[in-house]
Amino acid sequence: MGCAVSVYRVGGNKKQMKIPVVTVFVPSVRVPVNSSFQKSLKGVVPKELIDRLTSFRNQIALLTQQTDVSAAPEVLRALEEYLSLLVGLTDQEFGFRELTEFKWKSLDDGRQDISVADSWFELLSVVHMMAMLTLMEANSKLIPDQTVPSETVESTDDIGSAVDLLVKAAGYLQFCLREILVQIPPHIKMKLPVDLQENVLEATYIQALGQGTEMQLASAVECKNATLSVKRRLACEQLSYFSQAHYCLSTCDNLNGYGKKHLSFIKWKFLEAKAAAYYYHGLITDKGTEPSCHITAVCCFLAAEEILTESKKACLNFCLTAPITRAPTAWGAMKHLNKKIPETAAKKSQMYAYLLEEEKSLDVLPELPEFELSLKADEFQMPDKDAAWENEKWKIPSQTLKTDDEEDDK
C-alpha cells in the first residue's frame, strides 16, 4: 500500500478491486505488530504501566487492520496517547531504551519487515505513521466521493483543509529528521527500511510542502483578486519544492518498487509546476513594451507547452508504475492550464511570428525568478511524558539476597 491512501483504508482488505485515485501521494504505511511488554519489562516497570503500553500499541495495530481512512483521526489520537507513555522508555535516566524489541510490518505487502530493540526506533515509527495518516486524510479531503474515482472536489474548504493537513504532516516528518533520527545509532540506521531513511523522510517532508503550495495555487487560480505575480510566485515556489524533493529521493541508491513510484510522482508534479511557472512568467513578461519582452514571452509559452506534454507522459508513467493507480481528473491550476497553455502558445507565436523570424536564439530558455519559500511546516511538539513515569510509588526496589546474619538481626 505505497498508495495506502488511495485504497481508502488504513490497512487490511487487500482484495479490493478498485484502482485507487491519488491526489496526495503517501509513500508508505507501516503499522505495529501485536506484542506484549510483559516479558521484557516485568520486574523493571510496574505491571499497570506495562499493561497500558501493551494495550495502546495493540489497539493501534487493531484499528489499522479493521478501519477505513475515516477513522484516521481516531488512530492518530491513540498514537498521541501512546507517545506520552513511550517517551518514558526513551528517557536515559530510566535505562529502558534497549530492553524491548519493537516489531512493525509494512501494509504494502503485509510482512513483518523489521524488528528493532530501541525505543527511539519505536518513536520514529510512531511519528512517521502519524505523518502518513495525515497525508491520507489530505488526500481524502480532495477525493471524498470514493464511489466516483474521477470526481475531485475543489471547494475552498476542502483545499484549505488539505493545506492544513499537509503542513501538519510536514511538521511530523521534520520532527523525525531533526529530533528523532539523530538519536538513533548508525548500526540501527543501516537496518532501517528505505521509507524511514533520511533522504526519503526529507523528500516526503518537502513534497508535503510542495503539495501544500500546489493547493494554494489552485485557490489563487479560482480567486478573482489573485494577481499574475501571486500565481507566478506560487508556481515558482512549487517548482522549487519539487525540485528539492526530487534531488533528495534521486540520491537514494536502493529505492524499492514503491520508492520508484514515489520518485515518478514527484517528477510528474515537478513538471506540472514548471509548466505553470513558465506560463505565468510569460504572461507577466508579455506586458513589457520592448520586442525582446514579447520574444521572451513566446519562448516561455512554447516551453510551457512542451513541458505540459512531458508532464502528461510523466503522469501516465506514475499511474502505470506498480502499484497501478489513477490520477484525478485535471483540477486546480492544471484544469485551467491544460487548455490555456496550448491556446496561448499558438496565439502568441502567430502574433509575434515576424519577431521570431528575426530572433536566432530561441533555443535559450528564459530563467525563472527565484522566491523565498513561504510555506512552512507546523512545528510538532512531543507530548509531555505521562505522569505515571514521575510517580515515586511505582519505582521497584532492587532485589538483593539477604544473609543469615541479617535475618537473625531481625
For residue 6, the model assigns a pLDDT of 39
Q: Strand, coil or helix: what is 347?
A: helix
For residue 404, the model assigns a pLDDT of 47
Three cell numbers written together for 343: 491556446
- The CB density around residue 281, as the number of other CB atoms within 10 Å, is 25
Please give the average per-residue pLDDT across 78-95, as a whole number: 85
Does the pLDDT of residue 136 top 70, yes or no?
A: yes
For residue 403, the model assigns a pLDDT of 45
For residue 156, the model assigns a pLDDT of 74
- Angstrom distance (rounded) from CA 325 to CA 268: 14
Summary mean pLDDT of the chain: 84
Please give the average per-residue pLDDT across 73-89, as a whole number: 90
For residue 110, the model assigns a pLDDT of 52
For residue 98, the model assigns a pLDDT of 80
**Percent of the chain surpassing pLDDT 70:** 83
Please give the average per-residue pLDDT across 299-324, as a whole number: 95
Pairing of strands 30-32, 102-106: antiparallel
For residue 215, the model assigns a pLDDT of 95
For residue 395, the model assigns a pLDDT of 53
- Angstrom distance (rounded) from CA 182 to CA 322: 32
Closest CA relative to residue 203, chosen from 213, 194, 192, 214 = 194
Please give the average per-residue pLDDT across 294-299, as a whole number: 91
What residue ranges of the chain are covered by domains with CATH 1.25.40.280?
Answer: 1-196, 228-370
Q: Can you list the alpha helix ranges (DSSP code H) found in 286-385? A: 291-320, 332-351, 353-358
For residue 65, the model assigns a pLDDT of 74
Range with lowest mean pLDDT among 41-50, 79-88, 125-134:
41-50
- Tens-digit pLDDT profile for residues 18-30: 788 899 999 888 8
Three cell numbers written together for 290: 520592448
Closest CA relative to residue 3, chosen from 31, 22, 18, 17 = 22
Model confidence band, residue 15 (pLDDT cutoffs 50, 70, 90): very low
Model confidence band, residue 154 (pLDDT cutoffs 50, 70, 90): low
> Which residues have a Cβ under 8 Å from the Cβ of 215 and sit 6 or more positions away?
159, 160, 162, 163, 166, 332
For residue 5, the model assigns a pLDDT of 42
Q: Which residue has the higher pLDDT, 4 or 226?
A: 226
* Residue type for position 19: I
For residue 147, the model assigns a pLDDT of 47
> Which residues have a Cβ under 8 Å from the Cβ of 4 and sit 6 or more positions away?
10, 11, 26, 28, 29, 107, 108, 132, 136
Q: Tell me, which fold does domain 228-370 have in CATH?
A: 1.25.40
- Angstrom distance (rounded) from CA 164 to CA 212: 8
| Highest mean predicted confidence (pLDDT) among 65-74, 106-115, 293-302 | 293-302
For residue 361, the model assigns a pLDDT of 52
- Angstrom distance (rounded) from CA 355 to CA 362: 11
Q: Strand, coil or helix: what is 155?
A: coil
Q: Strand, coil or helix: what is 175?
A: helix
For residue 187, the model assigns a pLDDT of 92
Main-chain dihedrals φ then ψ at residue 76, nearest 5 degrees: -65, -40
Model confidence band, residue 392 (pLDDT cutoffs 50, 70, 90): low
Please give the average per-residue pLDDT across 36-59, as a whole number: 83
> Which residues have a Cβ under 8 Å from the Cβ of 7 and sit 6 or more positions away?
1, 13, 16, 18, 20
Domain 1-196 sits in CATH 1.25.40.280: yes
- Tens-digit pLDDT profile for residues 313-370: 999 999 999 889 988 888 889 999 999 999 999 999 888 887 776 665 556 788 999 9
- Tens-digit pLDDT profile for residues 233-287: 999 999 999 999 999 999 887 777 788 999 999 999 999 999 999 999 999 999 9
